[in-house]
Structure formats: C-alpha cells, structure tokens
Amino acid sequence: MYLRLIIYVYILTLLVGCESLLTKDIKPNVKQEWGQMLKKKMEQMHYPFRIQAKQDRFIGKASKEDWYVKKIGSPKIQIEKKGKQITIYKDRESEVLNEEQLGIVSPRDHLLLMEEVGEIQHKSVHNISWEKKMARQVRVDIDEKKLSQKIKKRFSSDQHTQFFPKLSDQVRVVYHLIYLIDTQTLKQMKIHIQPKNGMKQEIIYSF
C-alpha cells in the first residue's frame, strides 16, 4: 500500500511537471513576440502591400518612411508620400497635403500607433494555419483616451483641436494581426473602426 502511494505520487509529480512544460510551449510571451514582430516590420526597408476598404482595392509600396498607394480600377487615384509632403493624384488633378491632413495610411504608421497606444487582448490570441504554416492571430485594442491625446498633440492650435472633442467617446479602433510564428513575419493587418454614431468600417492590409 505504501509502495503504491509512493509510485502514485511519483507519477503525479511527473504529470504535473510535463503539464508545466507543455503550458510553456503553448503559452509563450506573446507580448514580447508581438513587439519583435512590430520592430521587424518597421525596420524592413522596402516592401509591397495591398489594401482593401469596402469595394475599393489599392496596391502600394513602402520605402523606408516614404510610400505610395494606387487604386485598382477607376477613378484613377494615387497617393504618394515623399519626406513630409503628401501628394494626391486623381485623374489629371493633383493636391499637396501634409501628414496631419491625410491621417494614417502607411502600414508603418499603423504599427507605430499600436506600439504606442495598443493593448494586446491575451484571451484573443489564437494559433492558426496560414499558407500551410503555423501562424498567430492577435487582437490589439487601441486605448481610446491615449488615442485622443495623441491626435490632439499632432495639432498645434486650439482651432484644430476643437474638432476632436472627447474623441475617445466617438470612435473605437481594434486591430487583428496575423503573423508567422517561426519568422515573426506579418501577413495581414485587419482594422475595425467603430464610430459611436455610425457603421463599423473594415480595412485590410495584406503583405
């Protein structure tokens, strides 16, 4: 009886030990992994990407901090950023804007936003298959108050900031990312934008 008890305790200890090791394999430090993935993508010098917003589709290319996007189909629209200047071409017309007037378009700007004011939802982390490879799906919520403060800081005058009163009560932004586990390569970035009094919008970036 005593020998049985010793054997049982020994087996139980082994099982608990195995379970602990297994848990470590299944639940890695996702926050650290996610941070490394963001850094890798932001440090990438040149890469193409695609954008889908409702029925509109765009192809684009990033080169360091510069980028361009071009609409597929008509009307012909192209947006190009060089330095701090952004130019919009529509058919034969063009207009020059600055970064504040346009908002966030480039993948790098979205990644910076997530890095600064994003919060990983650990309950929404899933392992999936993507292009026959193991991938991780991560949900990142943007802190609404921090987003409001960040946008207001981009504008230097009170005249501009008055257009963003209580922004945190007006819009909710959630990112859904898919990246390969072995190489930490970002494959898709899906953005859900939910205005308080409006329809939810979805924008998908593919890499």
- How wide is the angle at C-alpha 90 spanned by C-alphas 89 and 92, nearest 5°? 90
Query: Does residue 5 register a pLDDT over 50?
Result: no
Query: What band does 98 get if pLDDT is binned at 50, 70 and 90?
Result: confident
Query: Does residue 26 register a pLDDT over 60?
Result: no
Average pLDDT (75-85) is: 90
- How wide is the angle at C-alpha 186 spanned by C-alphas 87 and 28, nearest 5°? 145
User: How far, in whole angstroms, is CA 29 from its chain's centroid?
Assistant: 18
Of 114, 107, 69, 64, nearest to 87 (Cα)?
69
Query: What band does 124 get if pLDDT is binned at 50, 70 and 90?
Result: confident
* pTM metric for this prediction: 0.76
Query: What band does 21 get if pLDDT is binned at 50, 70 and 90?
Result: very low
pLDDT (tens digit per residue) in 130-144: 999 999 999 999 887
Please state, in angstroms and rounded to a whole number, the distance separating the CA atoms of residues 3 and 8.
Answer: 9
- Cα 9 to Cα 2, 4, 22, 24, 113: the distances in Å are 11, 9, 20, 23, 51
Average pLDDT (165-188) is: 83
Query: What band does 178 get if pLDDT is binned at 50, 70 and 90?
Result: very high
The pLDDT value given to residue 139: 95
